[in-house]
Amino acid sequence: MNEIIQLNILQFSLIYLLLILVLILMKKSKISQSKLLLLGTFRMSLQLVLAGFILTAIFENPHPLFTIAYVAAMVIFSITRILRKNPWLNSSFRWSVSLSLTLTGLFILGYFTQIVIGVSLFNPQYTIPLAGMIIGNAMTGITLALKTFHESLTSGRNRMETLLNLGASPKQILLPDVNRALETALLPTMNSMLGMGIIALPGMMTGQILSGTSPSTAILYQIAIMVAITAAVCLAVFCSLHFGYRSLYNQRNQLNLPR
């Protein structure tokens, strides 16, 4: 198996020329998001370069505290991003989201590293990249689910109040929207699974093959991580919604829907 080709700065910088094509097409299509594209590219590049320096230092000086700190930063950033995108959440719902993401993400991560792979949870080479994929996808799933759930609440307010007046319980009224939001959150992951291996080679598998890992080993890892990601998204979204939606009504069955 050939070793991976190292990119020098000049070779790497050539990839940014493709942004010119994107900017031209955006301008032609009258899409006024050029600043957002440039800002996003700059932030992504800066954040990944900084992450590269930090990870290099951690891998060269492995210590459980460094791994814990990095994973904790991932969790905190993910929770903060979700809560900022959903200011309508009440305090109880916020706690449900925060605890659901943290506990389910760490559970799936621990199961994958210690049970499936058989390495220490504090091994940065495995734990940090896997944590990024698991927690990152769980964050995306929760964000999508909350967006769908909030849209259902705002558009169906009159219907819900009518059903409540007719004698339906808040659980009967809200649960269909909870289940619909869960389904919406799972669809991108499931659609991605359907096309893997035929339409596209996923990132983890591609990275391993480029680094010299045999395709058969890369395939096994990719299948395993996709199942873990699906489980993490499902558990995190399910717990967030099923514990959180109960905060939208009180013991007297009065709805307290967000505006």
Number of domains, the chain: 2
28 lies in the same domain as 116: no
Q: Scanning the structure block, which residue is given the tokens 């991560």?
A: 109
114 lies in the same domain as 12: no
Contacts of 203 (CB under 8 A, 6+ apart): none
Average pLDDT over residues 231-254: 89
26 lies in the same domain as 105: no
What is the value of pTM for the model shown?
A: 0.85
77 lies in the same domain as 109: yes
Hey, what amino acid is at 179? N
134 lies in the same domain as 230: yes
For the stretch 44-102, pLDDT in tens is: 889 888 988 998 899 888 899 999 999 999 999 999 999 999 999 999 999 999 999 99
Q: What is the pLDDT of residue 5?
A: 67
Q: How far apart are the first and last CA of the chain?
A: 58
For the stretch 159-172, pLDDT in tens is: 888 887 888 888 88
The helix (H) or strand (E) run that includes residue 84 is helix 64-85
- Rounded Cα distance between 257 and 255, Å, is 6
Note down the domain range covering 29: 1-61
- Rounded Cα distance between 46 and 50, Å, is 6
Q: Chain-wide mean pLDDT for the chain?
A: 87
- Rounded Cα distance between 220 and 222, Å, is 5
Q: Which of 15, 37, 61 is the last residue of a domain?
A: 61
Hey, what amino acid is at 77? F
Q: Scanning the structure block, which residue is given the tokens 């814990």?
A: 68
Q: 10 Å Cβ neighbour count for 233? A: 27
Q: What is the pLDDT of residue 35?
A: 87
213 lies in the same domain as 120: yes
Asked, for residue 244, whether it belongs to a domain, the answer is yes
Dihedral Cα 247, 87, 147, 69, nearest 10 deg: -90
13-27, 141-155, 195-209: lowest mean pLDDT where?
195-209
Asked, for residue 253, whether it belongs to a domain, the answer is no
68 lies in the same domain as 114: yes
174 lies in the same domain as 51: no
Q: Which of 9, 32, 61 is the last residue of a domain?
A: 61
109-128 core/surface letters (b: 16 or more CB in 10 A; e: else): beebbeeeeeeebbbbebbb
